[in-house]
Amino acid sequence: QVQLVESGGGLVQAGGSLRLSCAASGRTLSAYGMGWFRQAPGKEREFVAAIVRIGERTVYADSVKGRFTIARDNAKNTVYLQMNSLKPEDTAAYYCAADPISGLASKSRYDYVYWGQGTQVTVSS
């Protein structure tokens, strides 16, 4: 029903910033709760941030609170992840995902049906 494409990843020095974008097509973002997850080599995919379908209620992993911000621009059909004060441990492939059922800011990857292809973020020391 919806296709997701991430962009904005790259190589950045520790302490720097990046903004990831997730562009949706096929259906409007207002139909979904949206989340960001990340996965480092040899580790399970972990929750990063999520935003409710309608409104501005957000949820963050403890490891990124105060540094990352998730935002949604329904007019542009795009979800963003602003990442500040990046650390080497933030290095991972980052994925956006859509929850078509609850529309809530869920922390569980099992609540998300549609996923993007991922974009790599590498933070050097």
30-77 pLDDT tens trace: 889 999 999 999 999 999 999 998 878 999 999 999 999 999 998 899
Q: Which residue type, as a one-letter code, is found at position 54?
A: I
Residue 89 has pLDDT above 80, yes or no: yes
Count of positions (residues) in the chain: 125
pLDDT attached to residue 54: 81
Exposed, middle or buried: residue 69 (CB in 10 Å: 0-12, 13-18, 19+)?
Answer: middle
Cα(29)–Cα(7) distance, integer angstroms? 17
H helix and E strand count, the chain: 0, 11
pLDDT attached to residue 28: 85
pLDDT attached to residue 35: 96
CB atoms < 10 A from the CB of 44, how many?
Answer: 8
Q: What percent of the chain has pLDDT over 90?
A: 83
Q: How far is CA 97 from CA 14, 21, 47, 88, 114, in A?
A: 26, 12, 11, 24, 5
Residue 89 contacts by C-beta under 8 Å, 6 or more apart in sequence? 63, 123
Cα(28)–Cα(53) distance, integer angstroms? 11
